Amino acid sequence: MKKYIIAAFLLAAAVLIFPAIPMAVPHTRKIAPEPQTATAENKKKLSEQPYKVLEVSTGEILEVPVRDYVIGAVCAEMPASFHSEALKAQAAAAHTYAERQRMHEQKFPTPELCGADFSTDVSQYQGYYTKEQAKQFFGADFEKNYQRISDAADEVMDYVITYNDEPIISAFHSMSPGMTESAENAWGTAVSYLVPVDSSSDLDAPKYTDEVRYDREVLRNKLETAFPGIVLDDECPIWVIVKKASESGMVLEADVGDITATGAELRSALALRSPCFDVRYEGTETIFTTHGFGHCVGMSQYGANAMAASGKTWEQILRHYYTGCNIEKIS
């Protein structure tokens, strides 16, 4: 995953592809910096206004009611089969993301958005399905799945997650390597509520480990494309050596030819499921074994589902993954 830091707290979430969903969409999310300070009354007014969503394929700015947007975001971001408390946690996180982004755009407009709060470009912003898109996605199970997600979202529609009375960077990912990662290690900027927490149930998630094999010439091509000017020694059979990893397992530093790269950068370059990986060599092949799925910061979705199955509520899930945060009623 590549680092994206714009101002103090502009963080981007790297590729999120959910194994339980038969879809492969990259998500390099823009997560807004600290939004403008808003009074309780202003927050309530904002929460009642439709979101403005730029449809990138047409250039049209759609006005989407808050409820419709939150439901559509959960449809796009979490398997409908997950426990209702996990779906509620995801809905609150999605709503929080949208509120933070809207508050930021009102003070610091992004020219490319043309006055919208965010766009349908899932490489930049949170995923969202219209009702028609959800019908196509769920197929014959649409009525059951859409109703299930709608019921969960309705339970939490009045709430957002806050820290110091502002909507948080509600980062989430599919599954951690057993412990979530700090924002500081992932993106280079410390965020007090995005710190490592236990998520050991992720070890039982489907495809917790994955293996990617690259032949020498294929690996060369990918590395030279990702890191222009890199020198890869033909006499040396080993081009990637992990030098340093965090307690959570994220590769913080690796020797790659004649340069140093992070696990996030290698994840992006090599289409790995996670920046937490081991490397081994067999003949002319370099084999990467990944642990977890996603950038590993914030809420683990599979961890949230496991917590819900064990009897935890959506509030308990959110307070576990977003350390020291509050759940605030805004309407």
Beta-carbon contacts of residue 163 (< 8 Å; ≥ 6 apart): 192, 193, 322, 324, 325, 326
Q: Which residues of 88-125 are buried (b: 16+ CB within 10 A; e: fewer)?
A: bbbbbbbbbbbbbbbbbbeeeebeebeebbbbbbbebb
Give dist(CA 19, CA 30) in Å, integer.
Answer: 22
Please determine, for residue 28, whether its predicted confidence score (pLDDT) is greater than 70. Answer: no
Residue matched to tokens 């707290």: 9
User: Which tokens hold the place of 56?
Assistant: 């990138």
Q: Which of 111-125, 138-152, 212-226, 315-329 has the lowest mean pLDDT?
A: 111-125
Q: How many beta carbons lie within 10 A of that of residue 297, not counting itself?
A: 31
DSSP secondary structure string, 150-191? HHHHHHHTTEEEEETTEE----EESB-SSB-B-HHHHHSS--
Q: Mean pLDDT over residues 313-324, rounded?
A: 98
H-only helix segments in 49-141: 66-77, 84-107, 131-138
First to last CA, the chain: 36
- pLDDT(26) > 90: no
- Residue 115 pLDDT: 95
List all residues 6 or more positions away from 319 whose beta carbon is below 8 Å from its beta carbon: 325, 327
pLDDT of residue 169: 95
Query: Could you report the per-residue pLDDT of 245-287, keeping only the tens digit for each?
Result: 999 999 999 999 999 999 999 999 999 999 999 999 999 999 9
Distance of alpha carbon 55 from alpha carbon 280, whole angstroms: 44
Euclidean distance between CA atoms 141 and 3, whole angstroms? 38
CB atoms within 10 A of CB 291: 23
Question: What does pLDDT average to over the chain?
Answer: 88
Q: How far is CA 217 from CA 234, 256, 269, in A?
A: 11, 15, 15
The DSSP code for 37 is: P
Answer yes or no: are the C-beta atoms of 82 and 134 closer than 8 Å. no
* Cβ–Cβ < 8 Å for 47, 102: no
| 135 token code pair | 């019908």
CA angle 270–187–202, rounded 5-degree value:
70
**Digit-coded pLDDT (tens) for 65-79:** 999 999 999 999 999
